[in-house]
Amino acid sequence: MATKFNDGRIAKGKLAHRVLECWGTGALKWVRRAAGGWRHSYLSLTSVFPNEKLYIILHGLTSVRNVTNAGAMNAGMVRNAPGSAYGQMRPSMTGIEKRYTAAELAAHCEQEGLNKAHLDLRLFVCSAGVPVPPPEGRNRSFAWEFREAMRRLGYGPLRVTAYLGDLVTGYNNVWTSNPALPRMPTDPDMTAERFKGVQKDNGGWQRASERHVVFP
């Protein structure tokens, strides 16, 4: 997804962002983080300056499938899934995923060395800014819960941006239920125009910068 995000920037004549990966799982990840105590380059977020924008690009995981813009309960990634498959854009909570609660993702950022003075973090996660109603949630969004968890960890000045709907990371033809949008001749379920941004409830699309929420 990060590659698609950068491809879209390049297509618009913008510079690509650095892509930071948290390599290793299980015991290997534990060893890498332990080594980070004496060599900070082993931690994936120590190279991020406090005044840089930090995008976290993950799937927003919901308790139901095929529901547009359902509030994300967790964030994560489907393991070993083809990145181009539309069916993997909003996996359910029952799939085989590496997933985080808001508190777990906050702890992950701290453990990977994010500076406590960091200012600007963008959760590029489907519907992370949409509140989750009871009984699954507390009428709070994943992003709100994440910001509160970061505050408890000492990230006082941090501002968290999240998006109010499902996201497309690159400029792609996308599935839509809106009959007013022109369709691809070869695939009538997909838009003829390429979009990047946030899906609206009526099946249209909007720039991410126009459909977001900020938690200071």
Distance CA 164, CA 199 (A): 8
Residue extents of the structural domains in the chain: 2-215
One-letter amino acid at 77 equals M
Q: CB count, 10 Å around CB of 106? A: 24
Q: What is the mean pLDDT of each run of 10 residues along the chain (216 residues)?
A: 78 81 64 55 80 93 76 80 42 62 96 94 95 90 98 97 89 77 87 81 79 95
Distance CA 60, CA 7 (A): 21
Three-state helix/strand/coil letters over 182-193: CEECCEEEEEEE
Give tens-digit pLDDT for 51-73: 999 999 998 988 766 677 889 99
pLDDT value, residue 109: 95
∠ CA(97), CA(89), CA(21), 5° rounding?
A: 60
pLDDT value, residue 38: 42
